[in-house]
Every structure is written in structure tokens, then in C-alpha cells.
């Protein structure tokens, strides 16, 4: 009986490794996935509902109309990459927060501080939105949860296998450090993948892919905090990210220009779930209607620079 109990964690580990692989559609990358799309959508919907009760929702009709307009076009670009999406785009009223996120099921949130940082550039907002939604379509949240499950099984197997070793604690400490750094590396890879896929979404929606570079330069200027060593960071260094985005943009210019011409000629918009907190007068304009962003004073404060980590951490329960 003891042998059976000892073998169970190893058996579970083997089953997980051979049964939980999927492929990211836009990039072809193989990934470990132990969470179903339905589970992800349920968790995303629950997290978004909770956020709308705890965070202050903006009543600014210009900001809400602007986010709806950009969101509808990005939703068309995403298309079947996010099946069964119930799109919802909400502006949260937090002028000092530079943050945006997307959750499974098509739930997208932008903080007013980030929209202020982008100023009048719809292209920059679209580049951020594409990036955030790419995290969802690439199923990065589910993948991180799957990695945590796998790490737990591996730790249990090591604990049993080394139970009679005098170096047991050292082995467990080493395993914990290696698994943590491995997950951090996956986080950086996820960021780069979301940059790649998200830029495609923005270009296919008729937004200039070069705007991602200008946005991240603004973010770099706003982030005056101490830098984190690369191997301990969940994000690639900003300069590396800017260089990668600058390299990707030229290859998407033809896609962007064609999509822009299509929208200037009047492109259809998908039906979306309206943000419940939008002011009654904030009816989204037609896709080809111009949206004039509210001017941003030069003294607008900026703090808490981040584009997704806080809300992804909240969603993943970290």
C-alpha cells in the first residue's frame, strides 16, 4: 500500500505531461493546458463582476464612447480567436493608475490614467487593448495556472522521493527556486507573445502598429521606480520590448493600411455587451465617426505604471 501511495504523485505527473498540451493558434506554440475554456470564462466573468462592484467606474461619456468604438473594431479583428465572447468594455475612474487588462469571455477594462497617458491617440489605446486581449486568446492565464498545478505535483513527488535523504530540505529549496524562475521566464515569454499577437489585432482593426512603440516610450518615461533584475522580472525590459515592437511594425503596415481604408469606407461593427456603467448619453458612435478625445493637461499625474500584471495576478489569485 505504501508503494502505491508513493507512486501516485509520479503517476499523476506523467499523466499531466502527456495529456495537457494545446497549441496557440496565432503563433503555433505548444503549451501545457490543464484548464478548460469554460472554466476560464467562468472565472473571468466572476472576476470582472466583482471588479465592477469594488472599482469606481467612469461616467465620462467621451472616454466611454471612445473605448467602445476602439473595442468594437478590435473585437472584429479578434474574430474566432475568442469564441463565445460576450464583449464588454469598461473605463475605471482612476487618473493615477496606468493599467489595463482583459479577462476570458471578452471582458476588457481600462483605467482612466492610462487613457490620459495615451492622450488623443486611438492607435496607442488599440495597441494596448490588442496586447491585453492577446493574453486571453493565447490562454496565458490558464497556462500559468496549469504550470502552478504541475509545479505542485512535481514538489509532491520530490518530497516523497527525497523523504529519506539528509539533503531533502536542500533539494526542495532548489526545486522551489528553479520552478519559480521557470514560471517567471514563461511570464516574460507570454508578454512577448502578447505583443506579437496583439499588434496583429490592432493592425487588422485599422490602427497603426507603430503606435505601440510611442506608447511604451511614454510608459518608460512614466516609470521612475527601481528596475528589477531581468531574471526576476515577469516582463521583458522596456527597451527590449520597444525594439521588438519596432521590428514587428513594418511587416504589419500593409495590413493596417488596408484595414484603415476599409473602416474609412464604413465597416460593420459586432454586437457587444455594453458597459453597464456608461452614462446614458454615451452612445457609441458609428464606426466611421470621428471621436475627439478630451485634452489632457500637462500636469496630469501618473503613477503605478503597469499594463496588466496587477489584474492578471488578481485573476490568478496570486
For each of the chain's 318 residues, which pLDDT tens digit applies?
A: 444 444 445 444 444 444 567 787 777 888 777 888 888 889 889 999 999 999 999 999 999 999 999 999 999 999 999 988 999 999 999 999 999 999 999 999 999 999 999 999 999 999 999 999 999 999 888 778 776 766 665 545 445 544 555 544 443 344 344 434 444 444 778 898 999 999 999 999 999 999 999 999 999 888 765 554 444 345 677 888 999 999 999 999 999 999 999 998 765 555 554 444 433 333 444 444 433 333 333 344 444 444 444 554 554 444
Enter the pTM of the model.
Answer: 0.68
Quick check: 106 and 86 in contact, CB under 8 A? yes
Domain range for 45 is 2-316
Task: Tell me the DSSP string of the chain.
Answer: -HHHHHHHHHHHHHHHHHH-EEE-TTT--EEE--S-HHHHHHHHHHHHHHHHHHSPBP--HHHHHHHHHHHHHHHHHHGGGSTT---EEEEE--TTEE-EEEETTTEEEEEHHHHHHHTT-HHHHHHHHHHHHHHHHTTHHHHHHHHHHHHHHHHHHHHHHTTT-TTHHHHHHHHHHHHHHHHHHHHHHHHHHHHHHHHHHHHHTT--TTHHHHHHHHHHHH--SPPPPGGG-SS--HHHHHHHHHHHGGGGHHHHHHHHHHHHT-------PPPTTS-TT-PPPPTTS---PPP--TT---EEE-SSHHHHHHHHT-
The confidence score (pLDDT) of residue 147 equals: 66
The total number of structural domains that make up the chain: 1
Cβ burial, residue 83 (10 Å; 0-12/13-18/19+): exposed
Q: Which residues are catalytic?
A: 132
The confidence score (pLDDT) of residue 235 equals: 60
Distance CA 50, CA 90 (A): 13
The confidence score (pLDDT) of residue 33 equals: 74
Distances in Å between the Cα of 267 and the Cα atoms of 55, 109, 287 are 34, 24, 7
The confidence score (pLDDT) of residue 279 equals: 39
The confidence score (pLDDT) of residue 22 equals: 79
Quick check: 27 and 190 in contact, CB under 8 A? no
Amino acid at each position: 500500500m505504501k508503494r502505491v501511495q508513493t507512486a501516485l504523485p509520479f503517476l499523476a505527473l506523467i499523466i499531466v505531461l502527456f495529456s495537457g498540451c494545446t497549441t496557440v493558434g496565432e503563433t503555433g506554440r505548444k503549451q501545457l493546458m490543464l484548464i478548460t475554456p469554460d472554466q476560464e470564462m467562468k472565472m473571468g466573468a466572476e472576476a470582472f463582476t466583482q471588479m465592477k462592484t469594488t472599482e469606481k467606474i467612469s461616467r465620462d461619456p467621451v472616454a466611454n464612447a471612445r473605448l467602445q468604438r476602439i473595442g468594437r473594431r478590435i473585437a472584429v479583428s479578434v474574430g474566432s480567436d475568442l469564441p463565445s465572447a460576450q464583449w464588454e468594455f469598461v473605463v475605471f475612474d482612476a487618473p493615477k493608475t496606468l493599467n489595463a487588462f482583459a479577462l476570458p469571455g471578452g471582458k476588457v477594462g481600462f483605467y482612466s490614467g492610462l487613457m490620459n497617458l495615451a492622450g488623443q491617440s486611438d492607435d496607442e489605446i488599440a495597441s494596448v487593448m490588442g496586447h491585453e486581449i492577446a493574453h486571453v486568446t493565447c490562454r496565458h492565464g490558464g497556462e500559468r495556472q496549469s504550470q502552478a498545478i504541475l509545479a505542485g505535483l512535481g514538489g509532491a513527488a520530490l518530497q516523497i522521493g527525497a523523504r529519506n535523504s539528509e539533503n531533502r530540505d536542500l533539494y526542495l529549496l532548489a526545486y522551489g527556486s528553479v520552478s519559480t524562475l521557470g514560471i517567471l521566464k514563461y511570464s516574460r515569454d507570454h508578454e512577448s507573445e502578447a505583443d506579437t499577437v496583439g499588434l496583429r489585432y490592432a493592425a487588422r482593426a485599422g490602427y497603426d502598429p507603430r503606435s505601440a512603440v510611442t506608447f511604451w516610450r511614454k510608459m518608460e518615461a512614466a516609470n521612475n521606480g527601481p528596475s528589477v533584475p531581468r531574471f526576476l522580472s515577469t516582463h521583458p525590459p522596456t527597451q527590449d520590448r520597444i525594439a521588438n515592437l519596432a521590428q514587428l511594425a513594418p511587416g504589419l503596415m500593409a495590413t493596417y493600411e488596408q484595414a484603415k481604408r476599409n473602416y474609412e469606407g464604413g465597416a460593420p461593427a459586432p454586437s457587444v455587451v455594453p458597459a453597464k456603467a456608461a452614462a446614458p448619453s454615451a452612445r457609441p458612435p458609428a464606426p466611421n465617426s470621428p471621436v475627439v478625445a478630451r485634452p489632457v493637461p500637462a500636469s496630469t499625474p501618473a503613477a503605478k505604471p503597469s499594463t496588466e500584471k496587477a489584474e492578471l495576478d488578481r485573476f490568478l489569485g496570486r
